[in-house]
Structure 1
Amino acid sequence: MPEVVGVRFKPCTKMYYFSPGAITDLKIGDPVIVETAQGEELGWVVMAPTMVSDDEIKGKLKTIVRRATPVDLAMAEEFRSQEAAALAKCREKIAELGLPMKAIGAEYSFNGERLVISFVAEERVDFRELVRQLAKSFKAHVEMKQIGARDEAKLLGGYAVCGRELCCASWLTEFHPVSIKMAKQQDLPLTPTEISGVCGRLLCCLVFENDLYVEAKQSMPKVGSVVNTPHGKGTIVSLNVLTETLTVELQNGLTVEVKASEVTPLAEQKRPARPESKSSH
């Protein structure tokens, strides 16, 4: 079992495993320099040295290069302060070249050697001339990173329909698959405005309570089931998972709300079809 530390490069982003190597006293919050596929980068320890199983290691485990020094931190802060100006310059160049794309963010590496421009575009864009001009202006290696609608919302931030700061921008570190089936499982209206976030995609929070709804519904009778209630026999027309109650249409036509624990399912029966009205000739 290898010993690893968890390192995160920015708040609300994925945590990566690195080997502590010869550095034995790392603590949460310590700044470190690590080797990534893009070169050396500044990160922060978010998980103290821990033994993990080999199954949790994806690919080759890289070793922390060294602790970050005050000079590293000062340099990172200096280049961070230049990112807004770099983004404005990039947008200016995009307009000059007439490229069908929108720059969303600019991020320098801690030492200023690399500048990553995040952008959105509806089609493939030839940005080679843009990269050449930006590299000449900033004296840095420029990378263009196309992102999707969810990543755009994460970068820009904002508030959701619930009135709280966007989950993706405030605490969510990874995006999880969301499906329309989850909205159906939670008996939500399926109109796009009701179940979509500011990014235009399905709400990430549909994932959070889905398992609860699945588990709760497994212990409750299904809609359409015939049950005995304290008020008599009837057919379930809807469920309320949060209050664990059922809405039941009785045989006399009245509708009542009862607790799920108060009903007894009968042998599976089909709800009688309503008689069709015949038109007179």
Structure 2
Amino acid sequence: MKEVMGLRFIPNGTIFYYEKGNQSYQLNEKLIVQHGENEEIAKVVIYSKKCHEQDAAYASDNIIRKAEDADLIKEEKNKIEAAQALRIAKERARENKLEMKIIKAQYSFDRQKLTFLFSAAGRVDFRVLVRELASIFRTRIELRQIGARDEAKILGGIGPCGRPLCCSTFLGDFMPVSIKMAKDQGLSLNSAKISGICGRLMCCLNFENEAYEELKRSLPDYGEKIDTPEGQGKVIGLNILSQIVTVRFFKDNKTADYTWEELKGELV
């Protein structure tokens, strides 16, 4: 096993794992890191995590130093100028009649690259825009298309539950979410009720899915024949959390609810 730490280069962004090496770092401390071709400033968001030797992680050699006061001043300057660059890029995109929504701009710490994140319904030919931006900012320009979930993660907002979005507060990476999870949890399959502001299935469907699967394994299946104190019937409903089984009797077509404790061992 090796010890790694999690770094973020942008708020709410993807967590990248780096080997800790022999240095000591603190949670929320900022570091200057060689990330790809550029120097970046990153924040420690996971102080320590054990992982297998074969698991991917960047080498500790990529960590250049702890950020100093001058580095933090430079970071703030980069943020201010990136916000100005974002306004200019949006104007140029409108002038070029490009069907795209530019969401965020970010300078690499060394200012060798200026990245624009955008969303769009389809492919966008932004070659002219890239040339215009490169001539204005005199640095390498990267335009990166992101999906609806990443857009919500970056912009933030309030979910249907009334709380700040999970993706923009504590979720490191997106986990797969399926409609089967909603079915297993007995939720309405109305897309408006199980979708987040990104228009995709809510990430929180995944949070309790394992617990629902475990509880459901002990219950009979829909349509299964079962004996009850009032006679034989068929399972027509399940409340997984409360372990309640709804049965329709063969003799008179009436229904009744039972706890699973009352019916255990009665399967036909």
TM-score computed with the length of structure 2 as normaliser: 0.89
Match of 1:260 in 2: 260
Match of 2:214 in 1: 215
Shift of 1:169: 1.3
Shift of 1:232: 3.5
Residue 108 of structure 2 is aligned to residue 109 of structure 1: yes
Report the secondary structure of 2:111's partner residue.
coil
Q: Which structure is larger by alpha-carbon Rg, 1 or 2? A: 1
User: Separation in 2 of the partners of 1:249 and 1:2?
Assistant: 56
Match of 1:26 in 2: 25
Match of 2:10 in 1: 10
Amino acid at match of 2:228: T
Match of 1:132 in 2: 131
Tell me: CA distance 1:4–1:106, structure 2 relative to 1, closer, same or farther (3 Å): same
Q: Quick check: 2:18–2:59 contact (8 Å CA) kept in 1?
A: no
Report the secondary structure of 2:223's partner residue.
coil
Q: Which moved more, 1:49-58 or 1:104-113?
A: 49-58
Amino acid at match of 1:43: A
Q: Quick check: 2:13–2:153 contact (8 Å CA) kept in 1?
A: no
Structure 2: state its 5+ residue gaps.
Answer: none
Match of 1:185 in 2: 184
Q: Quick check: 1:114–1:141 contact (8 Å CA) kept in 2?
A: yes
Match of 1:224 in 2: 223
Tell me: CA distance 1:63–1:50, structure 2 relative to 1, closer, same or farther (3 Å): farther
Match of 1:73 in 2: 72
Shift of 1:95: 0.9
Shift of 1:78: 1.5
Q: Quick check: 2:15–2:173 contact (8 Å CA) kept in 1?
A: no
User: Separation in 1 of the partners of 2:165 and 2:183?
Assistant: 23
Shift of 1:92: 0.4
Structure 1: state its 5+ residue gaps.
Answer: 269-281
Shift of 1:263: 0.8
Q: Quick check: 2:102–2:117 contact (8 Å CA) kept in 1?
A: yes
User: Separation in 1 of the partners of 2:57 and 2:3?
Assistant: 14
Q: Deviations 1:149-185 (Å, cap 9, x if unpaired)?
A: 1111112211221221111112111111111222222
Amino acid at match of 2:28: G
Shift of 1:139: 2.9
Q: Quick check: 1:76–1:111 contact (8 Å CA) kept in 2?
A: no
Report the secondary structure of 2:168's partner residue.
helix
Report the secondary structure of 2:117's partner residue.
strand
Report the secondary structure of 1:125's partner residue.
coil
Match of 1:163 in 2: 162
Shift of 1:7: 2.2
User: Separation in 1 of the partners of 2:64 and 2:77?
Assistant: 22
Match of 1:35 in 2: 34
Match of 1:277 in 2: none
Shift of 1:145: 0.5
Shift of 1:5: 3.4
User: Separation in 1 of the partners of 2:55 and 2:255?
Assistant: 53
Shift of 1:265: 5.0
Report the secondary structure of 1:168's partner residue.
coil
Q: Which moved more, 1:4-13 or 1:38-47?
A: 4-13
Q: Deviations 1:71-114 (Å, cap 9, x if unpaired)?
A: 11111012212333221211100011111222111122234332
Amino acid at match of 1:236: V
Tell me: CA distance 1:63–1:84, structure 2 relative to 1, closer, same or farther (3 Å): closer
TM-score computed with the length of structure 1 as normaliser: 0.85
Paired residue total? 267
